[in-house]
Structure formats: structure tokens, C-alpha cells
Structure 1
Amino acid sequence: MKWNRYTIKTTTAAEDFISAMLDELGIQGVEIEDNIPLSKEDQADMFIDFLPELPPDDGVSYVSFYLEDGEDHTEILHQVENGIEEQRQFVDVGEGCIAVSDTEDIDWMNNWKEYFHSFYIEDILIKPTWEELKDEDKDKFLIEIDPGISFGTGKHETTQLCIRQLLKYIRGDKDYTPAEKHPKVLDVGCGSGILSIAALKLGASEVVGTDLDENCMTSTWENMEVNHLPKELGKFYVGNLIDDEKLQETVGTGCFDIVVANILADVIIPMAPVIPARLKEGGIFITSGIIDFKENEVKEAIEAAGMRVLEINHQGEWVNITAIKG
């Protein structure tokens, strides 16, 4: 499907006013482009795999909206123009001019792929499915991934923190020898399935995953297939583990050696009380998605749930907390 993209050149001071005006006119899916860096609070609310290096903020903002191609948009555009002029009474809207261009759905879905290339986490090579495997990498420990519209390329610091902990607590290292050679793993908020796949490739006997988004089930199964992992090694369910007792029962009680959760701190905190019931005695809880200023809140919630914190790791502004039951 083709769309007309309309872009209003305005100011950063006016972008929220312009967006609200568009919303009042029934225009949804507004896109804002400016050079204002994301705050820690914004990053905590949004999983973004790539934080771009921005030029200095020049006060200019571009607010874009989309209307279906082939229809007469004269009236709605007239309303937008009037709305921009009305906003001048309250805020500096800058030029306030509207430019038009064409786009397609495929642009929104696939253009980000040019920024996702193969990279390593320790000795694990993470490769996008659309990139050719180099000859020198053919003998490497490989995970292929296509996140689709789900979260999880592996580039984000939180995913890397979790994978490093899975490496340690499944494969072991100089400081830790796993109690269970082929652990059963629960992946809460499985997204693209990257942590489930990493767990299986590292030696897990079975994974169970949950996510609120049913699209993640499609992404996970497709990525399992790409990585030549039999379907019988994984079970994945849509639902909220925090308060869905049926899902808790389906997932299992006291049967997991490891639970991994790469989700937001504000989700981990209310979820912490249901984690010990999923773990075996001595089971490991690996979590990330925690922005640094939320570290203590999450740690306190994990400890209040009866688990003991084993280690806390940082990468950039993000935090991993690993705990044990018992």
C-alpha cells in the first residue's frame, strides 16, 4: 500500500502542540524527528537497539503524518494548515510549512535493517538472516536472527547482558560451574526468541517462552527454524505471567533451572513475586531491561520475593541483576 507522507517543518518547542493538534483532527501515527537526545526516562520506556549519534540540537523539528495515497486530502490538509496558524498564538511554530512525499509500508518495516550487521557477544556470532555468512565465520558459534517486528536483535545492551549471564550459568566459566548440565529455561518476554535460541545452543534441554505480543510467537518460531532447532525443544505462550494464573500453571511450577527476563524494570518489579514458584530450589533468575536509576528498586523487589542477589552487572546505562532461589 502506498501512502502520502506530509512533513511539517516546525520547532522543538512546538512539536508537542502540533502533534496534539493533529491528534484532535483524527490523524494518528505521528512521527517526530529532531536532534534532542533521549532522556534516561524515555530510554527506560522504549527498547531501542540503536541509539544514533545526533548532531547538535538546532531547535528544528519535523512532524510527519501519513494519509493513504489516491484519496482527496484537500479538506484535512486545509484543517492542518489552519491548525498550524492557530498554534502561532501560543508558541513559535517556525516555518510551519508542509512538504509531501510518497512512501510504502515496506519502507517502515525494513529500512532499519541497514543498521543491523553481524557482531560478537563473547564468542557468539549474532548474524542477521539477510546477511551472507563470511567464509572465516563458518566454524563460529552462530545465532541467526530476524527480529521482524519483535524486540531482539541482540544489539541492545540489555540483551547482551542477559546472553553473557546465560553463557556463565549454562556453559560455566572460571567462577561458576553449573549445577545442571542441560537446564530447563523459562524466557519471560521472549520477543524475537534470541535468548531462548541462545539458551538452547548453549546446552539447555528445553525452553518455555512467554510474551504479551502474539507476533513474537511467529518471530520466535521462524528464528528457531533458521537456527535448525527442533520445535519440540520449545513451547511458547501469549500472556502476562504476572497475574494470569492459568498461564502460570501452564508454564509450570518448580521446574525451571533458569528464568531469564529481558523486560522493563517496571514489569520486573511486580513480576518478581511469581518467579520463585517457577524455579527449582537453587534455580537462577537472570534479568535485565533495567535502566540504572531503577537498579535499587528492582534489587529490593527481587530480595523481597525471597531470592538472593548473586551479582549485578552494568553496560552503559543498563543493568543486569542475577539472583538465586534459596
Structure 2
Amino acid sequence: MEWKKVRIKTKTTAEDLISGVLYEMGITGIEVEDNIPLSEEDKKAMYIDILPEGKTDDGTAFLSFYVEEGNEGEELIENVYQELNRLKDFADIGEGKIETSYTKEEDWINNWKEFFHQFRIEDLLITPSWETGKKEEAGIGHVVEIDPGTAFGTGKHETTTLAIKGIQKYVKESMKILDVGCGSGILGIVALKYGAAHVTMTDLDEKAIEATPVNMERNHITSDCYEVLLGDIIEEEILNERVRNEGFDLVTANIITEVLLPLTPVIVSTLKRGGIYITSGILIEKIPLIKKKIEEVGFEILEINEMGEWASIVGRKK
């Protein structure tokens, strides 16, 4: 299968703004190329002692994403083009020029290996399947091996990191958990590593349904500990009924605001009284929208956490 690579030329100062807009449009796999020097935190996350000398930062950045060939992909590119023109009216995004090229699926998958390296979130080490070492480092309590393949979710993005931190804090042994929008299955794997008894995962993308069991097996998790369901629990009544009658102890949803708003009333019906709802994927300026919706449907807010441009809200069912 051939994919079209869409590359946007912009400024480093507009990276977060454009990334946020793309994420709101449902584009979650974004490559960022710039020459901003790495911070000490970034260097530690890369687990290498000597870094190559980079080019001088000239303020230029490139943001890239991939679409499948076809009418839907072309329509998405056109929508991105229109959004960039709209941004130019109130923000300096530089050229905002779009370039396209083609790549085969296997090349697209292998390209991620250049950017995804093992890193830690507290006592959790997340490592790509093609890297070894560091697994015995002091202070590591759990290791998750992940290969995102064509289903996104490595844990490195702020939204996933926030969701993982919520899991680390609230998951208890024997919990039954629902993860909506599972991607590569990383949140479900983390929950099981931290003691959950069973995880049900849903996603709209067939590639996520294919990738999740592969990653589960890679982490030595047996099939009786999880199930993966294809579908939309908001719109599909049969799937909605199935999860609504489960009585979950905790639900995670790392999804954009526009989906969290109609999803939240569904989630409250899937949880036991006192159940925990961990949301992420919320742009900071949209915190009030989600907070209001969560409270309206019967949750008390336990905490709101921010990282970069993103936020996570954790609620408990009253």
C-alpha cells in the first residue's frame, strides 16, 4: 500500500499551534523536524551519552503526517490547507507551505524507528520492540515493549503520558478497565502491568484492532486478560449496551475534545459507583468545556493536570 506524506513548512514558534490544530482534526501521528537544541530532559529520555552536533536553529520547522491514497486523504489535505490559511489571519506560521510525496507502507513504519526511543515515566520504562538494554536500570518497576506499527500510541506524546500517569496513580489490583480509543493498546498494557485484572479496549480503526493483540503478546499478556472491540460506543447501540452493562472500575479515554463531549455521558453509565474516569487529549483552552460536561453527568473532579499544550482531567462517579 502507498501512503502520501504531507509536509508543512512553518516556524518553530508555531509548532504547538499547528500540531494542536492537526490533532483536533484527528491527525495524531505527527513528525516534527526542527533544529531546536535538546533539553537535558530530552537527552535523558533518549538514553544516549553523546549526541550528534545538530544544525544551527534558524527558526524553521517541518510538520509531517501520512494519509492513505484516495478521496478521503485528498479531502483531509484540502481541509488542512484551509486551516493553515485561516491560521495565517491571526498567527505567524511562516510559509505554511504544503508539500506531498509518496512512500510505501513498510517504509512509513520503519521511519518511526528513527524517532521512537525508550524512555521512562516514573518507574515505568517504555521501549520500542527493536531496542534492547536499560531494562535492568535501578528504579524500573515495569517494562512495556511497544511497536506502534500503523496504530499510533507510543506513550511519548504528552496526552498519552498524562493518561499513563493517571493509570499509575489510580489503578488497583483486580480492577476491570475500559480503554476507549486504544490505538496500539499501550494504556491497556500499562493498566495490566500495574495490577488490573482485565481490560476491554475499543477503537474505530481496524489497524488498532490488529496491533493491540500483537503488543499484548509482546508483553507476555495472555488473551484471557483483555478483549479488543471494533466500533463506536457512542453511535453503535449493540457495542454501547455491551460496555454499559460491564460495571467497570476505571475508564480511560485519550481522545480529542470533540469526541470526549458526546462520549462522557456514555462513560458514566459504564462505571460502578465511585469508578474513576481518566480523560486526556484536551487542549488547555478547552479544559472548561470538558470539566463542565464531566460534572454535569455526575462526576466529581479529582484533579486536572497539564503538560505542554495538553491537559488531563480525572473524575470519580458520585
For the criterion TM > 0.5, the same-fold answer is yes
2:28 equivalent among 44, 47, 69: 47
- Alpha carbons of structure 1 residues 60 and 103: separation in structure 2 relative to 1, 3 Å: closer
Match of 1:34, SS state, is strand
8 Å CA contact retained: 1:269, 1:301? yes
- Alpha carbons of structure 1 residues 112 and 252: separation in structure 2 relative to 1, 3 Å: same
TM-score by length of 1: 0.72
1:205 equivalent among 197, 222, 226: 197
Aligned partners of 1:199, 1:271: CA distance in 2, in Å? 21
Aligned partners of 1:227, 1:60: CA distance in 2, in Å? 34
Aligned partners of 1:136, 1:43: CA distance in 2, in Å? 35
8 Å CA contact retained: 1:35, 1:56? no
> Cα deviations across residues 201-236 of structure 1 (Å, max 9, x unaligned)?
100010001000111111110000000001011011
Q: Which runs of 5 or more residues in structure 1 are unaligned? A: 4-27, 68-93, 172-180
34-43 or 218-227, which deviates more? 34-43
- Alpha carbons of structure 1 residues 219 and 135: separation in structure 2 relative to 1, 3 Å: closer
> Cα deviations across residues 147-206 of structure 1 (Å, max 9, x unaligned)?
1111100100111101111111015xxxxxxxxx32100000011000000001100010
TM-score by length of 2: 0.74
Per-residue deviation at 1:304?
Answer: 1.5
Match of 1:269, SS state, is helix
* Pairs within 5 Å for 1:153-168: 153-168=154-169
Determine if the alignment matches structure 1 residue 231 to structure 2 residue 231: no
Aligned partners of 1:258, 1:42: CA distance in 2, in Å? 29
Greater radius of gyration (CA): 1
Aligned partners of 2:239, 2:282: CA distance in 1, in Å? 24
Q: Which runs of 5 or more residues in structure 2 are unaligned? A: 36-56, 70-94
Match of 1:35, SS state, is strand
Aligned partners of 1:256, 1:147: CA distance in 2, in Å? 26
Which residue is 1:84 aligned to? none
Which letter maps to 1:182?
Answer: S
305-314 or 49-58, which deviates more? 49-58
Per-residue deviation at 1:300?
Answer: 1.0
Quote the RMSD (CA, aligned, Å).
3.2
Aligned partners of 2:30, 2:240: CA distance in 1, in Å? 30
Determine if the alignment matches structure 1 residue 298 to structure 2 residue 278: no
* Pairs within 5 Å for 1:20-35: 29=4, 31-35=6-10
Aligned partners of 1:58, 1:205: CA distance in 2, in Å? 47
Aligned partners of 1:112, 1:210: CA distance in 2, in Å? 24
8 Å CA contact retained: 1:190, 1:211? yes
136-145 or 121-130, which deviates more? 136-145
8 Å CA contact retained: 1:49, 1:155? no
Per-residue deviation at 1:319?
Answer: 0.2
